[in-house]
Structure 1
Amino acid sequence: MHGILLFAHGARDAAWAWPFEAIAAHMRTHHVDGPVALAYLELMQPGLPEAVDALVRQGCQAITVVPMFLGAGGHVRRDLPALMERLRTEHPGLQLRSTCAIGESDAVNRALATAALALATESLAGPSTAP
């Protein structure tokens, strides 16, 4: 079984996570080969090690980690590889891989550009809805 693990930064405000939870929920309706889970680097639970452990307990023999970061800064270049190496040691039979940061995807950048343009265009038509 193949699990997908979305890996986000985390924040003190629980409301910060709702877009990631919505993405994971949407993916669960389309990924039929295994579970989709969400993990955080810091400030929120579960952390990456706990989420990987849970997916392994569910029967995953392969897990793909998708870093939900707009850019590949230090967390993606340093922290994630160190965590992945530790997890490979703890789960020697597990096929564990990661993708590029989600923001390095052309599809994501096109979607964000379209959404930003729509928001900016809408703002020209009426009062601001920002807090």
Structure 2
Amino acid sequence: MKAVLYVGHGTRVLKGSEQLKKFVEDAKKDIPYDIQETCFLELSEPDIMEGAARCVERGADSIAVIPVLLLSAGHIKEDIPKELEKVKKAYPKLTIQYGAPFGLHTKMIDVLQQRLESKGWQKGEDAEILLVGRGSSDSNAISDFHEIASLLQQRTAVVKVDTAFLAAAKPTFDEGLANKTKSKAKSVYVLPYLLFTGLLMQEMETKIERANQISESSLYLCDYLGYDKQLIEVLKERAVETFDQPFLFEKSGENV
């Protein structure tokens, strides 16, 4: 029997993990598999091993593992596969197929535009955007993030969409924000490319409040992406397509 195991990042902020669980519960209604479980890579429970165990206990012999993450970086390429190796050792007869994150999907740009509009942005406005990512040491993830910024600029037709990162990449959020306090644009929209609320959002809000005291522009912090209804469609695509992907681990236990 087939199962889908959704893997979120996890956060120390309870509201963040609860948001992911609620999102997956909403998504399950549109995804055609009887066994669906949610787990987390770190900081929240259940972990990946427990999530897989729940699938097996419900009768699964094949699991599609779907990372509920934005871009393909270290967690996708290294951390989750390491945990799945442990799962395979515990359940050698289990077939595991591994899916893709949200990635460069057009619906991601749709959601970003909606977050701008909900904060008051209008097309043709004298405005700039600072797109803020979590950050990564993975060059491909950073390249994908810059591609998202480029697509957003094409969609909005603003003069500038700059990027900044909260960790592991340059420019840092502090550097990007300091630069935007000198902008000549009437408005600057700080747009977090994050799935859930957490300490990072709280820190950004505090820093933007301070920056507004010295900024030549009006700085607006937009909402994080959240688990938007449009993203359910992306998640559904990822779940269905994963069962058509090559096996990560077959029943023989060999990597493919």
TM-score range, shorter chain: 0.7 to 0.9
Instruction: Name the structure 2 match of 1:119.
Output: 115
Instruction: Give CA-to-partner distance per residue, 1:59-84, whole Å, 9 cap, x none.
Output: 01111110111111111111111111
Instruction: Name the structure 1 match of 2:7.
Output: 7
| Residue 17 of structure 2 is aligned to residue 17 of structure 1 | yes
TM-aligned CA deviation for residue 28 of structure 1: 2.2
Tell me the amino acid that sits aligned with residue 93 of structure 1.
Answer: K
TM-aligned CA deviation for residue 27 of structure 1: 2.7
Unpaired stretches in structure 1, ≥5 consecutive residues: none
Tell me the amino acid that sits aligned with residue 103 of structure 1.
Answer: F
Cα distance in structure 2, aligned partners of 1:114 and 1:32:
25
Cα distance in structure 2, aligned partners of 1:32 and 1:121:
33
| Residue 69 of structure 2 is aligned to residue 69 of structure 1 | yes
Higher Rg: 2
- Give the 3 Å change call, closer, same or farther, for CA 23–122 of structure 1 in structure 2: closer
Cα distance in structure 1, aligned partners of 2:81 and 2:222:
37
Identity, in percent, stands at 18
Tell me the amino acid that sits aligned with residue 92 of structure 2.
Answer: P
Q: Is the 8 A contact 1:28 1:35 kept in 2?
A: no
Which moved further from structure 2: 70-79 or 13-22?
Answer: 13-22
Instruction: Name the structure 1 match of 2:102.
Output: 103
Instruction: Name the structure 2 match of 1:30.
Output: 30
Unpaired stretches in structure 2, ≥5 consecutive residues: 122-219, 224-256
Quote the RMSD (CA, aligned, Å): 2.2
Cα distance in structure 1, aligned partners of 2:221 and 2:41:
31
